[in-house]
Structure formats: C-alpha cells, structure tokens
Amino acid sequence: MKKIMIVDDSLIIRVNLKRILEKQGYEIVAEATNGQDAIEKFMKFHPDLVTMDITMPVLDGIAALERIQMLDSHACVVMISALGQEIKIIEAMNKGARHYIVKPFKEADVIEKIKSILDAEVEEDVNAYASK
C-alpha cells in the first residue's frame, strides 16, 4: 500500500483529497497545514507521494518542495494549485515536482494523475533493479 502525505492549509481540500485517495486504497500517513510542517512530517513518515499546495502560510509549497528535494532527490511531490497560478506551477515543475493538480479538482483527475505517477515510480524501481 502506497503512503501519501497531504499538505494544504485548507481543511476542506485535505478532507476531500483524503477521501478520494483512501477510496483507492492509499494510506494517508500524514497531513500538514504549511510547508514547514510538511518538511518535518516528510522526514518522519517518508511518504511515497506528497500532494503539496502552493500557497500556504509559514512556508509556501515551492519552498517546501525545494527543501524536501534536498532531503530526498527522489521525493515524489505533486503540486496542488488554484486556477491562474500557471507561473508558480511551471516554477514548481522546474524545481522537481512530478505533476500538478488544479483546484477545483475532479475526483477522476486526481485518481488518474496519482495512479499514473505512482505506477511510473514502480516501473522506474523495477527497471533500476533489473539493470543491476
């Protein structure tokens, strides 16, 4: 079972994402409300995937993404962004985010993106193992 951490300052978004992902069999190992909290929980729980809001208090999602990437260059982070933040999404993708989801999101889109990202991670692991 893949472990996921949800990072968003909006309780409604966290609840919705958790419901969607748990229905698909993913384990939500942690939730965080800001980037600093996300970094601390990432180090503690080592999730397979992080959903990361871009705009949050204390430390924004892009800064948190950069710090998480410094801790683990293979960290799998999917940015969550409101419509109209295309420049921030591009910045996040350039800094190592694996993909992005735009709010308001549809359940089917979330499932499709998360599944394809995690499936790609498994394929990379298998290929790396096979090449040894």
- In CATH terms, the fold of domain 3-130 is Rossmann fold (3.40.50)
When pLDDT is cut at 50, 70 and 90, the band that residue 119 belongs to is confident
Residue 126 has pLDDT above 50, yes or no: no
User: Angle at CA 22, nearest 5°, toward 17 and 27?
Assistant: 105
Task: Tell the residue number behind the tokens 């929980």, with chain if given.
Answer: 41
Distances (CA, A) of 93 to 15, 65, 90, 100: 25, 10, 5, 8
Model pLDDT for residues 21-65, shown as the tens digit of each residue: 999 999 999 999 999 999 999 999 999 999 999 999 999 999 999
Q: What is the pLDDT of residue 7?
A: 98
Q: What is the pLDDT of residue 108?
A: 95
Model pLDDT for residues 68-92, shown as the tens digit of each residue: 999 999 999 999 998 778 899 999 9
Q: What is the pLDDT of residue 83?
A: 74
The enclosing H or E element of 30 equals strand 27-32
Task: Tell the residue number behind the tokens 């790609």, with chain if given.
Answer: 120
β strands within 38-91, DSSP E: 49-53, 77-82
What's the whole-model pTM score?
A: 0.90
